[in-house]
Amino acid sequence: FQRKLCAFSPCGELFVCVNDAEILTIWETATNNVKQEFDVKLNLKTSCSSINWGTFQITSVENEGDNKEKQFILIGTKIGHIYVYDYSVGKLYNHFNGGHSCDVNDLSLHCETSSLFSCSSDKSVVIWDTISGKINQQWTADDEEIYSVSVIDSNNLLTGSTSIIWWNIKDKSVIKKFHCLEAPITILKVVNSLDISSGSYFLSASMGTPKISAWSLNEKNCQKAVASFVVNSEPQSIDGSQTFSKDNPLLLTAVTKTGNLVLFKHVLNGKTKNLTPEMTVEVVSKATKGNSEMAPSHVPIFSSKILHCAESCIIAYGDDDCPIFESVNIYDYPKKLTLARERKLQEKVYDFFVPKVKLCKKWKENSMTNGQSFIGASCNSPKRRKVVQMNATTESSSNDSDTTVNKVYQDNRLLNSSPTVKKKEKLSKKLERPKTPESDIEDIVISTDPSEVIDTLLRGIDEKNSSIINSVLKCDDSELIEAAVKNLPLPRLNIILLELYKRLKLQDKRYNSSLRHWLKEILSYHLPYLITHEDHKFVLNKVSELIDIRYITHTLSKMRLLRGLLQVHKRNTSSESSESSSSENDIEELVDS
């Protein structure tokens, strides 16, 4: 079993695809330009088995009740791990492990409960808390491999093996079992009727079966499909409207194994029907100059997305390593539409006119309790046409690899020009207690392993143990701090910066130097991430105020630049109509000073 590893974003503006070389590429569908590339094999040390988009609720630090939605890419792997990829900054945002032992076959997110549902070839279903990374529930859901999963609501779930099971999530009991053909259920999709009498339905597709079945989510109804959408070959992917009514029928598109797109329009009402496509779309290559006698050849379509306007859909066709995107009208259409396109080699075009994000080149994992872990990574700009596999043991300057088009990112490089951290032997050293009677710092052994340093810091924060936090932040080893900062978990940056802010505000001369060092490294390395996320605005304002009122002698020039960057960011966010050139002049004046 191997599904096509590609998906459109919910709005259809972006498209993610993993090719045979395990390169994850994000495309902008309007321009056909590459926005970003990520080497799955190199960075995750495994292969991708499933991919999807998910909307997470991100809680603002400034206002705890203020939740904002943010799009991420969900990556399931063949070793049972799940990664959450933040494409806006080109970094791994979170990592879930400890739930599955082999291929993660499908992923489904329920935003309202902050729950991620996953199924695997190990016959289990796992429900994850997307905020904490912990496992909420886990159970063996079938005697066979589970290929698909789809969440209905906070207490109902569908799983597909060679049969479909409707689950009560709360007590993990079976509500109903739907009898299907003895073939793996590769696709499940829930659709809701706005007419109260009709209720809810779901769609399913099986491996090797040339049809899409519709089922009623009604405990009393029969266990057979209420409608069949007949296609010419096995459906590879489907997309449809989330809701329908008598006045607005269900829109359903399916990409078949033969590379065609079919469109259905129908109002599900519980009556058994066999339906044929309203429209069929195919793409063929037309002859180029000098080859007028060459017969047209079929160009496969491999994915589609219905837009919110419900009048058109986007199709991806050609080669999955370099697809072509086109919008197709599904409001006023012929029975069969053939798109003749020139036969040409499509080359990747990289977008150089938008702010660039950084790409992970290597990663180091910081294991946490309950199977949770976070990822920190070295980064590289996606300017090259090929993903270069950098040897982790090779020392090189980061000036070229960290270059970005965005001005804020470019000037941030001035703070990040230190050489690559050399590998250190994993020896332990003991921090000396300051010779003051009022000392509140315990004799705690801090390892020279950056992962263990971060683990100790987060443990102190979770336990609200000031002695542990102070012991870690008192460390003033430049190389150790720099390496540790690169491995900081992105979801915890807010709380770590707040801890630094509180201690710097006290102006404790015993370890002010080390606190400034930690703050400088965090802002130098993670500023691109912090300024692109609105939920970090509160802590950035606090840090900016602190820099304004403190005269920091040892790193004055660098902190001046940081202050300037933060001020530029605050002005830009408050007035989006301001000219970009004025921000650049502000930066230049700060550097000259």
Of 141, 42, 19, nearest to 92 by C-alpha is 42
Rounded to whole angstroms, the Cα distance separating 477 from 505 reads 22
**Highest-scoring range by mean pLDDT, 141-155, 182-196, 289-303:** 141-155
Do residues 289 and 295 lie in contact, with contact meaning Cβ atoms separated by under 8 Å? no
What does the block give as tokens for 525? 């390395």
* Residue 154, amino acid: S
Q: For 506-525, write each residue's pLDDT tens digit.
A: 765 556 778 888 888 888 88
Do residues 169 and 156 lie in contact, with contact meaning Cβ atoms separated by under 8 Å? yes
Q: For 304-347, write each residue's pLDDT tens digit.
A: 999 887 788 999 999 888 899 999 988 887 899 999 887 654 55
Mean per-residue pLDDT, 2-27: 92
CB atoms within 10 A of CB 140: 11
- 383 burial via Cβ count (<10 Å: 0-12, 13-18, 19+): middle
Of 127, 132, 103, nearest to 115 by C-alpha is 127
pLDDT the model gives residue 379: 34
Rounded to whole angstroms, the Cα distance separating 5 from 24 reads 9
For the chain, the first-to-last Cα distance in angstroms comes to 62
Helix, strand, or coil here: 498? Answer: helix
Q: For 389-429, write each residue's pLDDT tens digit.
A: 333 333 333 333 333 333 333 333 333 333 333 333 333 33
pLDDT the model gives residue 196: 62
What is the rounded average pLDDT for all residues in the chain?
75
Range scoring the smallest mean pLDDT among 50-59, 68-77, 243-252, 532-541: 532-541
pLDDT the model gives residue 187: 95
CATH fit for domain 6-58+68-342, picks 2.130.10.10, 3.40.50.1980, 1.20.1090.10, 3.40.50.2300: 2.130.10.10
pLDDT the model gives residue 182: 76
pLDDT the model gives residue 556: 47
Mean per-residue pLDDT, 249-256: 93
pLDDT the model gives residue 375: 32
Mean per-residue pLDDT, 256-262: 94
What does the block give as tokens for 588? 């230049």
pLDDT of 247 over the 80 cut: yes
Rounded to whole angstroms, the Cα distance separating 12 from 401 reads 30
pLDDT of 367 over the 80 cut: no
Of 449, 402, 401, nearest to 423 by C-alpha is 449
pLDDT of 28 over the 80 cut: yes
CA atoms in the 13 A half-sphere facing the CB of 341: 17
pLDDT band at 451 (very low <50, low <70, confident <90, very high): confident
| Greatest pairwise CA separation for the chain in angstroms | 93
What does the block give as tokens for 264? 């259905």
* Residue 481, amino acid: I
